Amino acid sequence: MDWHSSVSRPHAPGGDASLFGQAGGPLKLLRFFCRTANSTRSLLCALLATLPFSLAAHAQEPPYFVTYSHLLEEPGNLEIATKDTTAAPHDANAYFSPTMEFEYGATAWWTTEVYVQGQATEHDSSVFTGFRWENRFRVLQGDHFINPVLYVEYETVNHADKSILEVTGHDSIADLQITNAEGRPDIEHSLETKLILSSNAKGWNFSGSRRRIRSGCRRQSMQDR
C-alpha cells in the first residue's frame, strides 16, 4: 500500500487542445494507425475518428495525476476526452498511443469511467492494448471538512501498452523498445482500490489517497488470439 497527496487551486474552466491542434507528427501516426488496423480493431479506429470533437472538459475536477478530489461528474452527464501520448524514444521507433476516456455521472454519489487504449508504432504495427474501468463512490452526502471517496479500478492491459497512464509499471526506456508482437501476448490483469480523503480550504483543495493493488499476468496462447 502507498499514499499519494495533491494540492490544487480551482482555475477558470477551459479545455485542453485536441490532438488536431498539435503538430503534424501525431497526425502522421494517426493516419498510420487507421491504415494498418485490421477488422478486429475497427471499433478502436472508429473511436479515433471522434478525436476532433473531443474536449478534455475537466473544469470541475482538479488536474491531479495520481489521485482525485471528492468532486464527481454531474448525474446524467457523459464526458468524452482523450489522453494521448506521442514520442520518439531513443533507440526505439516513434509511436502514437491514444486513449479514449468515457466518464459518466451515474448518480450524485457514483461516477464511472472507461478507458479504451491502443497504439501505433512506426515500422511495426497497430495494436489494441486494453481497457480500464474506474469507479468512484462518495461515502457522505454534502460537503464536510474531510470528504471520503472509495475508488475501484479494474484493468486488463497487454505489455505493448505505451499510454503511460500510471506512474508505476514503466521501469525504463527498454519497455518501449519491445515489438508489438513481443508485448501483445502478455496480458496483465489488476484490481486497484483507493481510499481518497479530500478537503477544501480557502479556495484550495487538499486530496490524498491510500491504495492497494492486486495484479497477475498471463501469456495469451495462439488459440486465444
- pLDDT tens-digit profile of 34-79? 555 454 454 455 455 545 444 444 446 666 767 788 889 999 999 9
Burial status of residue 95 (CB atoms within 10 A of its CB: 0-12, 13-18, 19 or more): buried
Over residues 110-160, the pLDDT tens digits come to 999 999 999 999 999 999 999 999 999 999 988 899 999 999 999 999 999
pLDDT given at position 10: 52
Under 8 Å between Cβ of 98 and 40 = no
Over residues 85-113, the pLDDT tens digits come to 888 888 889 999 999 999 999 999 999 99
Instruction: Give the rounded distance of the alpha carbon of 137 from its chain centre.
Output: 19
pLDDT given at position 90: 82
Site of grid cell 491504415? 35
Over residues 163-219, the pLDDT tens digits come to 877 765 555 677 788 899 999 999 999 999 999 999 988 889 898 888 888 877 777
pLDDT given at position 212: 87
Under 8 Å between Cβ of 109 and 85 = no
Q: Please indicate whether residue 31 or residue 146 has the higher confidence score (pLDDT).
A: 146
Q: Cα separation of 10 and 27, whole Å?
A: 32
User: What's the number of CA atoms in the CB half-sphere (13 Å) around residue 26?
Assistant: 16
For residue 15, pLDDT over 60 is answered with no
The two beta strands, 85-87 and 99-107, are: unpaired
pLDDT given at position 35: 57
Q: Cα separation of 84 and 105, whole Å?
A: 23
Does pTM surpass 0.75? no
